[in-house]
Amino acid sequence: MTRAERKKQHIEHALSTGQHAATGLQDVSFVHASLPDLATSQIDTHTTIGGLTFGSPIFINAMTGGGGESTYEINRSLSIAAKETNIPVAVGSQMAALKDADERRTYEVVRKVNPDGLVFANLGSEATIQQARDAVDMLGANMLQIHLNVIQEIVMPEGDRDFRGAVERISAITESIEVPVVVKEVGFGMSKETAKKLFDAGVAGVDVGGFGGTNFSKIENLRRQKALRYFDQWGIPTAASLAEVHTAFPDQTVLASGGIQDALDVTKSIALGASAVGLAGFFLKSLTSGGEKGLISDIIDLQDDVKMLMTVLGMKTMEELRQAPIVLTGETSHWLKERGVDTTYYSLRNKKTKD
């Protein structure tokens, strides 16, 4: 099977397997503010990551590319929607284009239709410095995502089995390219120990890519003769991963992704410590069912709903929202306590603590 054929299979299986929404975000509750003293017109949703200013805390996370015409059309539509709603957009791994020049157009279309927008390049942790430079140059990218997908590779029939030297390669890339580097998991969560290694390597931020969204173990198991089912439930749920990384590194940039379904999930993720929130599966489903117009409408609704939620919470900015008091219960609370996190860090704070 060619790489392009595999890319198309991934999209088909991502849509068929869906998202099981076991993110742990259901264990997060806001402390209601009966006197918010705020108007929706006052809300400012700007956020900054690696020196880049986002007009919205929402971005289109990496999905695809390198699968011929079908992935060209998906990336084209995603980028049009990003342009219309003024949000960043990431492409899927560009290794396919670095190995096959015919696939470059499936990625380059993102910059072609969105010449002034924020675009993220993407490669795996096996990438060299030169490949990182080529991927960024291919898109005139503003940021580089390096993805970690050990579980997907292990379950993938033709996947990698050697993961040595990743931290060293990531460190070399961060020192050698001009744009900020963010390292993201692809759906199995990130621990605080992994985050420490990455921050020590000089990355601008980490995207926890928590368990609860698109499940690449299930996707790859559909392509195997003998399934490795024990990896289907493997990982750290999004809420727990985000909270343990943020509380361990409160001054570092942490991004949230993994099963984000609506504006409440976005708002909870920011309150848990995220600087921005990436959606992939939700947007892919929206595009597939409603086309470009449907996707644009869903993004606008998402942005408006985040502002309404911030209004009732009395939180005017992203920084204030990251100080909103929240209560953690259930499995998420249990996980964090077992990992040494005092959850009153979240429940007893308020936005005035940094005034």
Q: Are 229 and 163 in contact (CB under 8 A)?
A: no
Burial profile 267-278: b = 16 or more Cβ within 10 angstroms, e = fewer = bbbbbbbbbbbb
| Domain boundary assignment for the chain | 3-354
Predicted confidence (pLDDT) per residue in 134-159, tens digit: 999 999 999 999 999 999 999 998 88
Q: Are 56 and 310 in contact (CB under 8 A)?
A: no
> What is the CATH architecture assignment of 3-354?
Alpha-Beta Barrel (3.20)
* Cβ-Cβ contacts under 8 Å for 151 (sequence gap 6 or more): 188, 216, 217, 231, 234, 235
Q: Are 19 and 78 in contact (CB under 8 A)?
A: no
Predicted confidence (pLDDT) per residue in 276-326, tens digit: 999 999 999 999 999 999 999 999 999 999 999 999 999 999 999 999 999
Q: What's the half-sphere exposure (Cβ side, CA atoms, 13 Å) at 142?
A: 19
The pLDDT score that the predictor gives to residue 355 is 40
Q: Would you give the end-to-end CA distance of the chain in angstroms?
A: 58
Predicted confidence (pLDDT) per residue in 255-272, tens digit: 999 999 999 999 999 999
CB atoms inside a 10 Å sphere around CB 221: 20
The pLDDT score that the predictor gives to residue 223 is 87
| DSSP states along 135-163 | HHHHHT-SEEEEEE-HHHHHHSTT-----
The pLDDT score that the predictor gives to residue 354 is 43
What mean pLDDT comes out for the span 219-248?
94
Predicted confidence (pLDDT) per residue in 3-55, tens digit: 555 554 545 545 555 555 699 999 999 999 999 999 999 999 999 999 999 99
Smallest CA-to-CA distance from 163 within 172, 153, 155, 171 is with 153
The pLDDT score that the predictor gives to residue 65 is 87
The pLDDT score that the predictor gives to residue 309 is 98
The pLDDT score that the predictor gives to residue 1 is 54
